[in-house]
Structure 1
Amino acid sequence: MGWRTRLAKRLRECMPSTLAWVLYRQCHHVLNTIVIVAIVLINIIIIIVMTITIITLVIIIIIIFIIIMIIIIIIIIMIIIIKITHHNCTIMMIITNTVIITAIDDGDDLDDYKQEDDEVEGNEEKDAKGLRNERRTPFDFRLHP
C-alpha cells in the first residue's frame, strides 16, 4: 500500500467524524442564534405589551381624574349658585307664600278668626315670658312664638 492509499483510507475514516463535528458546530451556532433571536423577540414583545399596558393604565387614570375633577367643579359651581341665589330664593319663597296666602284668603276667614279672638280675648293668659297666647290663621308664618 502506498502513501496515497493510506491517506485516502485515513481520510475516509476521519471524514464521517469530522463532517459530523463540523455539522454539529454549525448546528450549534445556528441553534444558539435562533435561541438568541427568539429571546430578543420575546423581550421586544414583552416591552411592547408592557408599554401599551402602562399607557392604557395612565390614560384610564387620567380619564378617571378628569371625571372626578369635573364632578368636583360641578359641585362647587352648584354650591356657588346656591349661595348666590339663596337670598333671592328666600325672597321668592316669601313672595310665593304671600301670593298663595292672598289667593286663598278671601277676607271672610279673617273675620271668622277675629270673632273667635273677640270671644277668647277675655280668657287670654300670659305665658312665662309675658307674651300673649294668640290665635293664628292656618297661613300665619310668623316666626315668634
Structure 2
Amino acid sequence: MHNATELESLDYKQCLALMRTQAVGRLVFTDHALPAVRPVNFTLRQGEVILRLGRSPWVRRLDHTVVAFEVDQIDQTAQAGWSVVVVGKARLLVDIDELVTNSDPLHRSWAPGPRDQTLAIDIEQITGRRLLTAAS
C-alpha cells in the first residue's frame, strides 16, 4: 500500500476560511535589507489582516511597505496540510476610530507586554495550496 498525494490550489474564499481556523501566522518583511519572519497573532477584517504588535522598532518601518503574511496547518503524521500566503501593503493604524473598530478582546496576543501598535495588511494578493494524502 502506498499513499497518493494531490496538491490543490485554493480560491480566495477557501483561503480566508482556512486562515480563520488559526490564531497565529508569520509576518514576513525586510529588516535592514535582510529577510525577517515574526510569528504573530492575527485577525481578519474586511479584506485586511490585522496585527496588534508591541513597540518593536521594526513595526513603524513597515508602514506603507509591501509585506507577506503566511498561515498554515501541517499534519506530519498524515503528510497533509495547507498554506495560505497574503501579500499586500502594510499600514500602521493611528486613527482612533480604526483602532476601536479593529480591537478584538477575543483575539488577544499570546506574547507578553503591551500590544499598542496595530498594523493592517491589505489583502492585495492571496494564494493557497492544500496537500492531500490518501491511501491507495
Which TM-score bucket, shorter chain as reference?
A: under 0.3
Q: Which structure carries more strand by proportion?
A: 2
